[in-house]
Amino acid sequence: MKYLYPVRLMRLHRDWEATWNGLPDNLRGAVWQVLSNLAFAVMAVAVKTVGQTIDSFEIAFFRCFVGLIFTLPLLFRAGRVRFATTRMGAHFSRAALGVAAMFCGFYALTHLPLAEATTISFTKTLFTIPLAVLVFGEVVHWRRWGATAAGLGGVVLILRPQGGEFDQALMVALLAAALVAVIIVTIKSLARTEQAATILFYYGVFSTCISLVPALWDWRIPNPEECVLLAGVAILGVSGQFCNIRSYRLGEATAMAPFGYLRLIFAGFFGYILFAERPDLWMWIGAGIIIASTLYIAIQEARRKEAPVTKE
């Protein structure tokens, strides 16, 4: 009898694996997308909670450090990481930008309602288009420029300066989105000559070292509860990235793009339940405009990449 339960478990595992593999790729990709956005939303809750007592730079350091610990075994397991590089400066710049974006993002999550901070983070797509034109000389159709302009209009609705002044936390959130757009362009440039594992390795090492310097300026030894939250931020961040990668490997980009906005629904739910946050009507109107414009841009970009190359 003692061998019966392991055999049953093995059968259940085989049945589950067969059922899962038999599902359409887009459906499996959608499941990974839901898990990814749920992980990022719970990470935002952990950031907001621990951010009440721990400085954002210290949170960023633990995110980088613990994330590096979890990422290294995966990198080496996947294959040999090519450490030699002629673009060390570009790797360092990408890490510095990443730390700055992370700090701004964590600061925004700490000082803004979760739904509001999450909405502003989606504007990275709006910044990516002009950067791609300037850096890579990409040709952008007028419809995407129109969607970008509409999205920026949604940002203005959310910012709504009071007495001629903008909310500092909202401006920091917007800066975080702009920095992420610069990072996307930087990674695109690095990917032309560097392996993905090489980029991840140097980012983990450099970001940990860079984030430690400002973290020490206002360092506070976390208590056991804060240590759990800080570890959770890192683990959930890595898990969210892993699920997102699995999602796009399985599903079509145009099918996966809409699921990214589930994060706003999760953020709004957690903000309401856990922090009694009630964003006003103008925030939701602005969020709707930003989501519609960035979703249109994302789908058009995915279709452009998936379209077959035709020769005249």
Q: pTM of the entire structure?
A: 0.83
Q: How far apart are CA 63 and CA 245, in angstroms?
A: 19
Using the structure block, give the residue that is written with the tokens 């109107």: 285
Taking the alpha carbons of 28, 31, 37, 42 in that order, is the dihedral positive or negative? negative
Q: What is the pLDDT of residues 234-252, one digit of tens each?
A: 999 888 888 888 888 887 7
Q: What is the pLDDT of residues 131-185, one digit of tens each?
A: 777 776 666 677 778 888 888 888 888 877 655 556 788 899 999 999 998 888 8
Query: In the prediction, which pLDDT does 232 show?
Result: 92
Averaged pLDDT for residues 81-109: 88
Q: What is the pLDDT of residues 203-221, one digit of tens each?
A: 889 999 999 999 998 888 9
Query: In the prediction, which pLDDT does 15 show?
Result: 65
Highest mean pLDDT among 13-27, 64-78, 294-308: 64-78
Using the structure block, give the residue that is written with the tokens 């452009």: 304
Amino acid type, 188: K
Query: In the prediction, which pLDDT does 305 show?
Result: 60
**pLDDT-derived band of residue 303, with 50, 70 and 90 as boundaries?**
low
Q: What is the pLDDT of residues 23-82, one digit of tens each?
A: 787 888 888 989 999 999 999 999 999 999 999 999 999 999 988 888 777 767 656 666
Q: Compute CA 212 distance to the chain's CA centroid, rounded to the nearest angstrom.
A: 21
CB-CB contact of 121 with 176 (8 Å): yes
How many CB atoms within 10 Å of residue 196? 14
Question: Which of 98-107, 109-118, 141-150, 167-176 comes out lowest in average pLDDT?
Answer: 141-150
How many residues would you count in the chain?
312
How many CB atoms within 10 Å of residue 66? 19
Query: In the prediction, which pLDDT does 309 show?
Result: 42
Query: In the prediction, which pLDDT does 229 show?
Result: 94
Q: Compute CA 290 distance to the chain's CA centroid, rounded to the nearest angstrom.
A: 17
Averaged pLDDT for residues 120-137: 79
Residue-averaged pLDDT of the chain: 82
Q: What is the pLDDT of residues 271-287, one digit of tens each?
A: 999 999 888 888 888 88
Q: How far apart are CA 144 and CA 126, in angstroms?
A: 9
